[in-house]
Each structure stands twice: as structure tokens, then as C-alpha cells.
Amino acid sequence: MIIDILLLDLNLPDTNGTEIIDFVKNNKMDTKILIVSMYYEKSFINLARKRGAHGYVPKNVGKKQLVDTLHKVIQLGSYFEQIIDVNQTLDRIFT
């Protein structure tokens, strides 16, 4: 069976998403991995990227953005939207 793209959460009942990423990579599956997670922070995004995910979106993403991201991952090979660190931005504005 060929799986073109896998939508994967990092938080799973019996395992975690990074183990699934490792499994896909270790078995040399030609499957793109798009993380869909409630953990939309730089540290989680960087972890997923380093492990081999091809994209990352928050769980509350709208349908259009999800579909657009799926297309970008398929067309470009990977897609990680730039996220803004709100605390750093506020620190720069008010200091």
C-alpha cells in the first residue's frame, strides 16, 4: 500500500507521533508527514521537523488552510509556516 501523505498528531494514546515519524523514515516509506497538533509552539515544530516531518499545522486550522498546506507539502516537498513568538515580539515592542 502506498500512502502519499500522512496526517499525524504528536499526542497519541499508545505512542507518540515522533515514533511514527521514525517508523516511516526507518522503513524508507516515501510518505509525506503533516503534523496536526494542538502543540503549536516552536519547540514542537522544530522537533517534528528534525525528526522528518514535512509540515506542521495547529489542530484548530481552518479547512482552507489545511488543504492549502497539504498541497504545499505535496508540491514543494515540505512546508512550515513561519510562526511568531508572541512573547519575543511583545518584549521588543515594549522594551
**38 close to 59: Cβ distance less than 8 angstroms:** yes
The H-assigned helical ranges of the chain are 17-26, 42-51, 63-76, 86-94
Task: Select the more confidently predicted residue: 27 or 93.
Answer: 27
Q: Which one has a higher pLDDT value, 35 or 3?
A: 35
Lookup: cell for 58? 495547529
On the question of pLDDT at 89 being above 80, the answer is no
pLDDT attached to residue 93: 57
Read off the pTM: 0.81
DSSP 3-state helix, strand, coil percentages of the chain (rounded to 5)? Answer: 45, 20, 35
The residue that leads in pLDDT, 84 or 76, is 76
Q: What is the mean pLDDT of residues 8-32?
A: 91
C-alpha cell at 43: 519547540
The pLDDT score that the predictor gives to residue 90 is: 46
